[in-house]
Amino acid sequence: MPPPASTPDPSPAVDWLYLDLNSYFASVEQQLHPELRGKPVAVVPVDSDATCAIAASHEAKKYGIKTGTNIGEARRRCPHLITVMGSHDKYVEFHHEIIKEVERHYPVHKICSIDEMACKLDPPRRRLEVAQDLARRIKRGLRERVGECITCSIGLAPNRFLAKVASDMQKPDGLVVLLPEELPGRLLELKLSDLCGIGRRMEPRLRACGIRTMEELWEAERETLHRAWGGVCGDRFWHELHGGATEDDVPPATRTIGHSHVLAPELRPPPAAGIVARRLMLKAASRLRRMKYRASHLHLSVRLEDGPRCEAQGKFEEGADSIVMARLLTELWQRVMRQGRWQRVKKVSVTLFGLVAEATPQQLELFPSSGESATKEQRENLSHVLDKINQKFGRDSVVIGFTPDTVRTFSGTKIAFTRIPDREEFKE
């Protein structure tokens, strides 16, 4: 007699665990400062009612205060609101401690942002009860080992996109499961704007295709979403919405290194703004050397207070020499200021591009100036020495072309949605 056929495992399964930290920046501040716990807190970039919140605590969110809320309006909604200047270096430190704790339980497959990460589950952990137990152990570990204020919402689903959607459905401290066989199920409770990828610009395009509700989005044909998105992004969205596998992201090669900064009012006169531009350039050059790249082009962009943007770019001999870049920046600054008629500056951006890896052979000049090669080598060695001094003794211990006190209100490294700074950046 043939052996009996094996009985398939009937238990439901999920493939992805998505972790979203709750009110992350504000929660870190409450963890570091117990006097803030249980109180409405907004994290801000500058101490001004004209700025916007970059994070809000659970208590502040009850008043309708969230990321992007004007602080003057937030104080009208909540007169006892406490504002705290952002401590981006601390948020990065906690980020690494959180990853370490999560990986005590299971490896992190993808870091999605400073406060979001995803785990691609292996077969033993795809069974729903095992995945839920893993999620609960991660939550408990964060509270016990990282801090009692550090909570997260976790989504479990057949792909990373739906797991993220699930993590947003119950906050704070939620645990939501979206099973393939239950779709669309709880998705129909959502608004279109609740889905990642559908913002204020996308909604009108969906309405033009006859899609106004989640049910209509679910029932739409793949071709309809292709038309709404204007390409394969619509096909990918349709595929992932219906439970298809999420394409793994391949990290792109580094093509540019740059920094930008919105200036506080006292730094907006052109002389002060020029110093900030130089500070941003030195920071980008230090990152260039740490990442073992050389560059050949420098781009400078400024946005004036009254709106227009002025920009200029120039080429320099391929290398990682702060002194040469500083000279070029001085020329570019004069050009953009002439374009802007020396008006007050609201935002400065500096970008290095034309990057090549340090190990790439350099094109030598056919007729180099006498002694120029040795001079270049000496300048680059000096730049590396400056990096080491600043890493050891603190940011701006040694700078080129200005005194550190002139930019004492310049706040340095910030966390962006698309990039988490390395720890070393806070000393560059």
CB 305 within 8 A of CB 253: no
**What's 142's DSSP letter?**
I
Of the candidates 73, 101, 116, 424, the residue annotated as catalytic is: 116
Query: H/E/C letters for each residue in 320-388?
Result: CCHHHHHHHHHHHHHHHHHHCCCCCEEEEEEEEECCEECCCCCCCCCCCCCCHHHHHHHHHHHHHHHHH
Q: 113 to each of 78, 286, 288, 299, how far by Cα in Å?
A: 29, 23, 22, 27
Give me the amino acid identity at 397: S
Give me the amino acid identity at 70: N
* 336 phi/psi in degrees, rounded to 5: -70, -30
* 361 phi/psi in degrees, rounded to 5: -60, 140
| Angle between helix 372-393 and helix 322-339 axes, rounded to 10 deg | 90
Could you give the angle at the alpha carbon of 331 between the alpha carbons of 384 and 379, nearest 5°? 20
Q: Is 116 an active-site residue?
A: yes
Supply the residues annotated as catalytic: 116
